[in-house]
């Protein structure tokens, strides 16, 4: 009798919602994806599967749908389900310090073990971002295995036809097992009819592969959460039909958990995997011009003769390296630098207690634990990068990262800060660029200053509301903007000729006029961005990005002249000199903070103006973290009169102050002109264009405010102005 040939299938589902996502998004995905997924599998007890629930989603389920865990416990008890662990908040592990990698994984292991009585053996690796030194962190955390993409193994030089099992890897003697996730199955499940996947698995069984193992582990949101998938998966019963076919073919297709495979099969061998992530991620991280070239190379291989293309395809150069998202998007690097600073401070506190062999008090330990948990939340990966969908482009996700970093800072101050009011100044290379940044803080505010970046304030934290008022994002070119512009033109043409728009089926524009928003910034959208323009520069030119910069102030390095320190205040004095038509124009900028004040004192002085024809000097401040098009988010004048929503374009003349109010946050940010106020103040909503589940859309990022003065044109050599930047509860601000 001939033995039956059998394929082994490992099904895995990764369920995740990022820290800071809207409650409605959690709830919608629970009802349309997570709950029906588990309920459907419960009807097929013989089909084994694996499940990962990220920490932020776990926390939401525990608070809002706790009975869901009872259902999971039933499937665990009957041996149908294996739970995977992971780093608790779903961080990109190579991005965070080793101590936090281990801490996050162990923290989640303890949560799972407390709830279900058993810690996981393996873990889900966020976005499958891999570096070989992760082996030590994962092994020391108690993990035996993780899942990578088959793309990782191709890059390591393995034959794609010989990935029917798992591999052993090591680093410094620490061991880990690696499972290859099948990209072909990722595009079959659930996008093709179920019988196509069955055919694929039956061919695998007949292939003679040893062992004939196939793994498909992918986003749980794909099974009901993504647009159109609920009807496919549950309306048309794709999943039930698929599981029915698996049952019908159980003699040749057997489902397994990861741990079962470890118990029943030895590793196929040892492997060392180069840094990487899934294939699409390596494309998204490339600079725009390189991505376009890379995509042309891929297209050429698709069009080439198979005998020529196939040998090249296996070794086709990988795209980019995940860490370069921190280069491509400086805003990501800013968040990461603040995150590292918080992590280092917590580590120094713990090391200080250990070095003197002293245990923290109960209150101190509570502060340390609370700071660490907020740090973990702030390490959630989603806002640190940008791919097919929003990520970094979603303000509420960036705001959440900063919120938890600021909350961690507040917990840290319960240990480090003196009682009562205080003032502090730190000078360090926080972002590892060899340049010194300056941090000023008291109990109300934390201001981060970059002398190397135009002497600008690049982060301003209101500690009361845990809000970074400068969580801004630049408008920059993305390769998909070509398609957006083309689709917008075709929509306009179709509307004129045919009535309803008739867009290309792969490009959905959620709003008209997106092509008009494809304007790109030439300087950081931060605070105290200094400009010198021709006197004829208008608000309309500035809003269109057509203003002419006469100096390099917005992007040049400023010199730190001195930091004046008294018992009650610190004053940072910065300067820069520029050659303009044979003369030297010097700008001096002062940024001050008082021990008790929830405000910054700002002063400017220009020298070298005598005999210079009139020019327009402007100071630009971009404020974020406040929604733009809501009635309770508004500009107000000195008397408290509503001037319009925060996405308004205003031109104000001789105003004494301008206030940005967010009543939902109970936050108001006021610029009060104290000495020689601006002749005009212009505002501009900063909107980006990015993709979402429903199509391309405009996203309000920040309100830009430019205060401008005419300088020069007389015998006066100097110009001076001062203003106060006050952060208060909106209910206290007129």
Which amino acids are annotated catalytic? 127, 219
∠ CA 711-713-715, nearest 5°, is 105
667-675 and 680-692 beta bridge pairing: unpaired
Tokens at 498, concatenated: 């045919």
Alpha-carbon distance of 413 to 367, in angstroms, equals 9
Q: What values do phi and psi take at 507, rounded to 5? A: -120, 115
Three-state SS at 263: helix
Alpha-carbon distance of 355 to 357, in angstroms, equals 5
Alpha-carbon distance of 246 to 254, in angstroms, equals 8
What are the distances in angstroms from CA 1 to CA 4, 204, 252, 452?
Answer: 9, 21, 16, 78
End-to-end CA distance of the chain: 90
Tokens at 590, concatenated: 């002062």
Tokens at 344, concatenated: 């280092």
Which position has the token pair 């979603």? 394
Alpha-carbon distance of 261 to 136, in angstroms, equals 22
Cα dihedral 67, 73, 78, 83, rounded to 10, equals 130
Q: Which helix (H) or strand (E) holds 377?
A: helix 362-377
Three-state SS at 86: strand
Edge-to-edge strands, sheet with 569-580: 559-565, 569-580, 583-594, 599-607, 718-728, 667-675, 657-662, 633-636, 642-645
Q: What values do phi and psi take at 363, rounded to 5? A: -65, -40
Instruction: Give the contacts of 372 (CB within 8 A, at least 6 positions apart).
Output: 103, 346, 408
Buried b (16+ CB within 10 A) or exposed e, 696-706: bbbbbbbbbbb
Alpha-carbon distance of 643 to 652, in angstroms, equals 10
253-256 and 7-15 beta bridge pairing: parallel
On the question of a cis peptide bond just before residue 211, with omega within 30 degrees of 0, the verdict is yes
Alpha-carbon distance of 178 to 262, in angstroms, equals 11
Tokens at 683, concatenated: 């505002």
């Amino acid at each position: 009798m001939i033995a039956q040939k059998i394929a082994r299938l490992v099904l895995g589902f990764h369920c995740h919602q990022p820290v800071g996502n809207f409650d409605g998004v959690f709830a919608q995905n629970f009802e349309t994806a997570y709950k029906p997924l588990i309920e459907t599998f419960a009807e097929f007890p013989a089909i084994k599967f694996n499940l990962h629930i990220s920490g932020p989603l776990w926390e939401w389920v525990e608070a809002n749908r706790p009975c869901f865990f009872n259902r999971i416990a039933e499937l665990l008890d009957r041996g149908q389900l294996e739970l995977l662990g992971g780093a608790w908040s779903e961080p990109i592990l190579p991005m965070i310090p080793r101590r936090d990698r281990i801490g996050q994984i162990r923290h989640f292991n303890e949560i799972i073990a407390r709830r279900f009585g058993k810690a996981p053996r393996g873990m889900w690796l966020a976005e499958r971002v891999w570096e070989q030194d992760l082996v030590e962190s994962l092994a020391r955390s108690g993990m035996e295995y993780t899942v990578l993409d088959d793309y990782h193994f191709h890059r390591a030089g393995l034959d794609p036809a010989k990935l029917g099992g798992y591999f052993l890897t090591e680093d410094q003697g620490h061991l880990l097992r690696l499972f290859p996730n099948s990209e072909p199955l990722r595009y079959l499940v659930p996008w093709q009819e179920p019988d196509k996947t069955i055919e694929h698995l039956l061919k695998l069984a007949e292939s003679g592969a040893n062992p004939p193992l196939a793994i498909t582990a992918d986003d749980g949101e794909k099974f009901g959460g993504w647009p159109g998938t609920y009807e496919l998966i549950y309306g048309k019963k794709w999943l039930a039909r698929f599981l029915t076919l698996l049952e019908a073919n159980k003699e040749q297709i057997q489902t397994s958990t990861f741990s079962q495979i470890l118990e029943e099969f030895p590793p196929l061998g040892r492997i060392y995997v180069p840094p990487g992530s899934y294939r699409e991620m390596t494309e998204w991280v490339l600079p725009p011009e390189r991505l376009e070239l890379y995509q042309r190379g891929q297209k050429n291989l698709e069009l080439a003769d198979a005998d020529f293309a196939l040998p090249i395809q296996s070794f086709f150069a990988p795209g980019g390296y995940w860490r370069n998202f921190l280069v491509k998007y400086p805003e990501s690097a800013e968040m990461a630098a603040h995150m590292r600073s918080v992590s280092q401070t917590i580590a120094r506190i713990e090391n200080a207690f250990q070095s003197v062999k002293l245990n923290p008090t109960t209150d101190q330990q509570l502060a340390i634990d609370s700071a660490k948990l907020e740090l973990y939340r702030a390490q959630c990966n989603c806002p640190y990068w940008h791919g097919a969908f929003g990520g970094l482009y979603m303000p509420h996700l960036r705001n959440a990262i900063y919120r938890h970093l600021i909350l961690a800072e507040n917990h840290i101050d319960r240990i480090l800060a003196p009682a009562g009011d205080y003032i502090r100044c730190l000078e360090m290379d926080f972002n590892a660029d060899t340049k010194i940044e300056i941090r000023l803080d008291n109990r109300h505010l934390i201001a981060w200053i970059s002398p190397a970046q135009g002497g600008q304030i690049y982060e301003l934290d209101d500690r009361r509301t845990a809000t970074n008022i400068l969580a801004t994002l630049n408008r920059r070119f993305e390769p998909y903007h070509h398609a957006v512009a083309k689709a917008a033109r075709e929509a306009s043409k179709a509307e004129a000729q045919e009535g309803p728009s008739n867009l290309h089926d792969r490009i959905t524009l959620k709003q008209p006029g997106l092509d008009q928003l494809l304007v790109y910034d030439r300087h950081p959208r931060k605070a105290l961005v200094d400009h010198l323009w021709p006197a004829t520069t208008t608000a309309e030119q500035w809003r269109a990005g057509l203003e002419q910069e006469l100096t390099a102030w917005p992007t040049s390095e400023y010199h730190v002249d001195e930091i004046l320190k008294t018992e009650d205040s610190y004053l940072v004095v910065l300067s820069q000199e520029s050659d303009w038509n044979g003369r030297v124009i010097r700008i001096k900028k002062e940024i001050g903070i008082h021990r008790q004040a929830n405000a910054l004192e700002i002063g400017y002085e220009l020298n070298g103006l005598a005999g210079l024809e009139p020019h327009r000097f402007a100071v630009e401040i971009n404020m974020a973290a406040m929604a733009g098009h809501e009635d309770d988010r508004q500009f107000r004048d000195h008397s408290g009169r509503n001037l319009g929503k925060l996405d308004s374009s205003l031109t104000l003349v001789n105003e004494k102050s301008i206030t940005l109010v967010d009543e939902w946050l109970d936050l108001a940010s006021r610029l009060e002109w104290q000495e020689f106020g601006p002749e005009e103040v212009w505002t501009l909503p900063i909107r980006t264009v990015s993709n979402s589940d429903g199509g391309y859309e405009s996203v309000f990022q920040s309100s830009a405010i430019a205060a401008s003065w005419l300088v020069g044109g007389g015998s006066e050599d100097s110009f001076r102005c001062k203003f106060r930047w006050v952060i208060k509860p909106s209910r206290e601000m007129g």
